[in-house]
Structure 1
Amino acid sequence: MTVERKQCVVLVPYPFQGHLTPMLQLGSILCSQGFSVKVAHTKYNAPNYSNHLEFVFHSMDDGLQGIDMSFPSLENIYCMNENCKAPLRNYLVGMMEQEKDMQGDQLACIIYDNVMFFVDDVAVQLRLPSIVLRTFSAAYLHSMITILQQPEKYFPFEDSQLLDPLPELHPLRFKDVPFSVVNNTVPEPILDFCRVMIDTGSSVATVCNTMQDLENSLLLRLQEHYKVPFFPIGPLHKMAPMTLSTSILEEDNSCIEWLDRQAPNSVLYVSLGSLARIDDTELIETAWGLANSDQPFLWVIRPGSVSGFQCAEALPDYYEKMVGERGRIVKWAPQKQVLAHPAVAGFFTHCGWNSTLEAILEEVPLLCRPILGDQPVNARYLSQIYKVGFELEVFERTIIEKTVRKLMLSEEGKDLKKRIIDMKQSIVAGMQTDGTSHKNLNDLVDFISALPSRLAPPTPVVGTVMSSSHIASKCIIES
């Protein structure tokens, strides 16, 4: 009896929630298209296998045992990339040997998160096709590329320039630059890291969690820059057929019962995501802003999200008793369920790209409080271009109270709601059989299916972008 052999795709996610989620969603999409999917992941933040029975998982030794990765340093990211090289290479070689003996599925390609740039070195060594997954918006990627082409044009800048427009990057201002800024400049190690992260290396294509109908002009510029096919097949969380949780943290589902007791369109959902941190002063100002707004709220205070505190103990002891049934505080929430709940009318958010897309697809207007990475870029586009959110730029209780009320109660807030409904309809149209995201997915499937099983040996190229091998020399952890 002959066993049918499928084409296999190996996924290599970056082990943080905002990156792991879209990679697993992409895996579900590819499974539904007839591919077998294997996930090579780090031991740190390993996904819950029981939530993804359609995948085969392989754990790679990342060398990070005993290291605090709750807020990863560049050094730790480089070390993780170096430490995972040999485990991934050995795993792929084993697969290739099985394939040669007709014992396994045919290895079609590797799809890796752009932060896991070591995969490019492994793919080149083994002459395997690779594809990059970019988990953020085209606007963010375009802004990074533009600045990295001439960083001296942007840095350093003066405090007086913070609200000035960034040259060639409307609607962004200097305060929205997509890098970690220290003393109004960007340290060279961060620029180096970003150059590696945005480089496609030897990859034959890029998959994006965005939509052609939303970011077409920017996608065209990226296509021109990279010279490889771009496949915008978002929103991945809606294109994926599987609805199982991808959360690393344990979700408190009791908050859904609390939402069931609230009036329709009355609750503000507050969550600053899975990685960002604030200080206790901002926590207290937010707490009083929410309390004084008189609006019902569901507030996620993630363990470790308040500097110097484990969880919500930075709040006054009497706070939860004072707000009573009008407020609910949890450590983590099933966010997609929360945003889809009829009681939820607004989202006080860090503007991570997953959260942004989840809110838009549930027609929930945004109160934008960006913190790091792509979040300031997303917030600026949401408030100034798409006009579906208000940006909070002063973290003081009276301003927070006023902005919450504006979002939840004002005519301006109702206008946001109308625009986000229109925005959702445009995105949903792209997901239909004749829509752009659906067509791009079909094109991606055809593209992967037609890839050669092995690539020609690479031609050496002399360039300015540092390879992950070169950067790994900075690593102090032995792999």
Structure 2
Amino acid sequence: MERERKGLSLVLIPSPLQGHIAPLLELANILYCSGFSIIISHTLFNSPNPSAYPHFTFVPFSDELSQSEASTSDPLHLTNLINLRCAHPLSRCLSHLLSDPSLDPIACLISDAALHFTRSVCDSLHLPRLVLRTGGASSFLVFSLFPLLRSRGYLPIEESRGEEAVAELPPLKVKDLPKIETKDPEAFYEFVCRMVDELKLSSGVIWNTFEELESYALEKLTLEFSIPIYPIGPFHKHLTSGSLASTALMTPDESCIPWLDTQEPNSVVYVSFGSIAAITQTQLVEMAWGLANSKQAFLWVLRPGLVPGSQWLEPLPDGFIESLGGRGHVVKWAPQGQVLSHPAVGAFWTHNGWNSTLESVCEGVPMICMPCFADQKVNAKYVSDVWKVGIQLPNELQRGEVEQAIQRIMVEDEGKAIRERALQLKEKADLCLQQGGSSRRSLDRLITHIFSSRRQTHPSEKRE
């Protein structure tokens, strides 16, 4: 329920990637319903749809990206370009907002952690800056230890040492450490270190997680950082579905819901790898035949470009769709929240992006893990070895192993035990948002923090 208006505005800045935009807009909804006025300041690239959020004010700033730069398939390179070029455009934008007498006074800015350039801009305007970390706390703990991991020889990652345990971060092995394939191997390390350093200079960090899920990492980060942390997730569960607009940049195919309605409870494997992950043609063929040979019904999000250069179905083996006899349903994009909460869905084959991992946890759906890059590898390890609500596929994907993994989750006794643990974790996710729950308490602390540290200068103040 929306609280009394507080007479204060908050400026939120998303990183322009689907997996980052969605949780930031969910956080904006939570804070709006807590009584704040919301201003979304955003790049022109991948700008959110203002018509979906008439209760927010949307203010773009120039990202100074060329068409070729904006179309890059390298998210790290894109993020680095934004960090390099957007300081002056954002400073001009914020100066205008701060001097606009029609707006409620701006208390602070909340920035995606990936946009580390916002720290210097906020400092120059004497504007408090909170950071939103859209990924999990466990993966960020790994990021915070990158210099230590390098000094002890774990980084850069050597494939030959993949099975070696990382003594400082049990139960991780070297192969579980975050990695991104990029033209400059040093770029990812430098970006992570800069992101962590700039985050430590913020006035606090907001996490889309909850204490009962990641207590160990949250405790370690609290000891390491000298700033307050606010685990108030899962964001998407704070508000009723009727209160939320879609945060997807792609239009979901709603035809999958009537198809799911015709399936038996816990009988469908849902397969989706998010908005930017890519796989090879060989991997897709092995996936396809593994799904078919499992004899389980499946809903497969085969996104255009999942295999680089593909338009949609052409990478599938000839005759594959016809061979299924209606047992499979393939779409370009799905309404994931509705799918995971559907009683027919019995498992989620996922790339383990944090949003997908958290959504699966919240619905009690066991996972088949196939991480692709960055924090996904850490998330998958926690799913399989810490929370024990899923199993992980080997790096070299083969149809026989796919079939076996699906059978383990969907049919065998092991899958029943995994499902029971997943439902127990779902209950914890539900409880943390109730009155007196850990995430509800963290939200109350966050609101108090915003009031206590808010910018004191009147918004009509003019700046040169």
Q: Distance in 1 between matches of 2:186 and 2:6?
A: 48
Q: Distance in 1 between matches of 2:52 and 2:187?
A: 37
Give 1:92's match in structure 2, choosing from 87, 91, 94. Answer: 94
How do 1:27-42 residues align onto structure 2 when only pairs under 5 Å count? 27-42=28-43
Assess, with a 3 A threshold, how the Cα gap between structure 1 residues 151 and 287 changes in structure 2: closer, same or farther.
same
Q: CA deviation at 1:147?
A: 2.7
How do 1:267-306 residues align onto structure 2 when only pairs under 5 Å count? 267-306=268-307
Q: Is the 8 A contact 1:5 1:105 kept in 2?
A: no
Code of the residue aligned with 1:148 in structure 2: it is P
Q: Is the 8 A contact 2:146 2:189 kept in 1?
A: no
What's the counterpart of residue 263 of structure 1? 264
Code of the residue aligned with 1:426 in structure 2: it is K
What's the counterpart of residue 477 of structure 1? none
What's the counterpart of residue 141 of structure 1? 140
Q: Distance in 1 between matches of 2:162 and 2:221?
A: 27
What's the counterpart of residue 345 of structure 2? 344
How do 1:150-169 residues align onto structure 2 when only pairs under 5 Å count? 150-153=149-152, 154-156=154-156, 158-169=158-169
What's the counterpart of residue 336 of structure 2? 335
Q: Distance in 1 between matches of 2:374 and 2:435?
A: 34
Q: Is the 8 A contact 1:5 1:104 kept in 2?
A: no
Q: CA deviation at 1:91?
A: 1.8
Q: CA deviation at 1:431?
A: 0.8
Q: Distance in 1 between matches of 2:181 and 2:308?
A: 19
Q: Deviations over 1:419-456 (max 9, x none)?
A: 0111111121111101110000011011112224149x
Code of the residue aligned with 1:176 in structure 2: it is D
What's the counterpart of residue 124 of structure 1? 123
Moved more, 305-314 or 413-422: 305-314
How do 1:71-90 residues align onto structure 2 when only pairs under 5 Å count? 71-72=73-74, 74-90=76-92
Moved more, 167-176 or 192-201: 192-201
How do 1:185-200 residues align onto structure 2 when only pairs under 5 Å count? 187-199=185-197, 200=199
Assess, with a 3 A threshold, how the Cα gap between structure 1 residues 332 and 29 changes in structure 2: closer, same or farther.
same
Q: Is the 8 A contact 2:37 2:56 kept in 1?
A: yes
Q: CA deviation at 1:6?
A: 1.5
Give SS of 2:40's match. Answer: strand
Higher RCO structure (Cα 8 Å, ≥6 apart): 1
Q: Distance in 1 between matches of 2:98 and 2:119?
A: 17
Give SS of 2:100's match. Answer: helix
Q: Distance in 2 between matches of 1:181 and 1:146?
A: 20
Assess, with a 3 A threshold, how the Cα gap between structure 1 residues 75 and 402 changes in structure 2: closer, same or farther.
closer
Give 1:403's match in structure 2, choosing from 376, 398, 405. Answer: 405
Q: Does 1:52 align with 2:53?
A: yes
Q: Is the 8 A contact 2:74 2:182 kept in 1?
A: no
Number of aligned residue pairs: give it. 447
Identity over aligned pairs, percent? 40
Q: Is the 8 A contact 2:6 2:35 kept in 1?
A: no
What's the counterpart of residue 444 of structure 1? 446
Q: Distance in 1 between matches of 2:192 and 2:270?
A: 32
Q: CA deviation at 1:254?
A: 0.8
Assess, with a 3 A threshold, how the Cα gap between structure 1 residues 73 and 313 changes in structure 2: closer, same or farther.
same
Q: CA deviation at 1:130?
A: 0.4
Code of the residue aligned with 1:133 in structure 2: it is L
Q: Is the 8 A contact 2:200 2:225 kept in 1?
A: no
Moved more, 279-288 or 354-363: 354-363
Code of the residue aligned with 1:168 in structure 2: it is E
Q: Distance in 1 between matches of 2:158 and 2:99?
A: 58
Assess, with a 3 A threshold, how the Cα gap between structure 1 residues 384 and 73 changes in structure 2: closer, same or farther.
closer
Give 2:434's match in structure 1, choosing from 432, 435, 445. Answer: 432
Assess, with a 3 A threshold, how the Cα gap between structure 1 residues 452 and 5 changes in structure 2: closer, same or farther.
closer
Give SS of 1:82's match. Answer: helix
Q: CA deviation at 1:157?
A: 5.5
Q: Is the 8 A contact 1:349 1:367 kept in 2?
A: yes
Backbone CA RMSD of aligned residues: 1.8
Moved more, 75-84 or 371-380: 75-84
Assess, with a 3 A threshold, how the Cα gap between structure 1 residues 374 and 73 changes in structure 2: closer, same or farther.
closer
Q: Distance in 1 between matches of 2:77 and 2:280?
A: 24
Q: Distance in 1 between matches of 2:179 and 2:456?
A: 37
Q: CA deviation at 1:385?
A: 0.7
Moved more, 375-384 or 77-86: 77-86
Q: CA deviation at 1:65?
A: 3.5
Q: Distance in 2 between matches of 1:385 and 1:74?
A: 28
Give SS of 1:372's match. Answer: coil
Q: Distance in 2 between matches of 1:204 and 1:110?
A: 10
What's the counterpart of residue 453 of structure 1? 455
What's the counterpart of residue 320 of structure 1? 321
Give SS of 1:39's match. Answer: strand
What's the counterpart of residue 460 of structure 1? none
Q: CA deviation at 1:158?
A: 4.7
Q: CA deviation at 1:316?
A: 2.3
Q: Deviations over 1:328-382 (max 9, x none)?
A: 1111000000001111111000011111111111111000001111111010011
Gaps of 5+ in 2: 458-464
Q: Is the 8 A contact 1:264 1:342 kept in 2?
A: yes
Q: Is the 8 A contact 1:129 1:454 kept in 2?
A: no
Q: Is the 8 A contact 1:231 1:441 kept in 2?
A: yes
Q: Deviations over 1:92-115 (max 9, x none)?
A: 11122124xxx3201000000011
Q: CA deviation at 1:217?
A: 2.3
Q: Distance in 2 between matches of 1:244 and 1:98?
A: 27
What's the counterpart of residue 229 of structure 2? 230
How do 1:162-177 residues align onto structure 2 when only pairs under 5 Å count? 162-177=162-177
Give SS of 1:131's match. Answer: strand
Gaps of 5+ in 1: 456-479
What's the counterpart of residue 462 of structure 2? none
Give SS of 1:314's match. Answer: coil
Q: Distance in 2 between matches of 1:240 and 1:452?
A: 25
Q: CA deviation at 1:70?
A: 5.0
Q: Is the 8 A contact 1:8 1:107 kept in 2?
A: yes
Q: CA deviation at 1:119?
A: 0.9
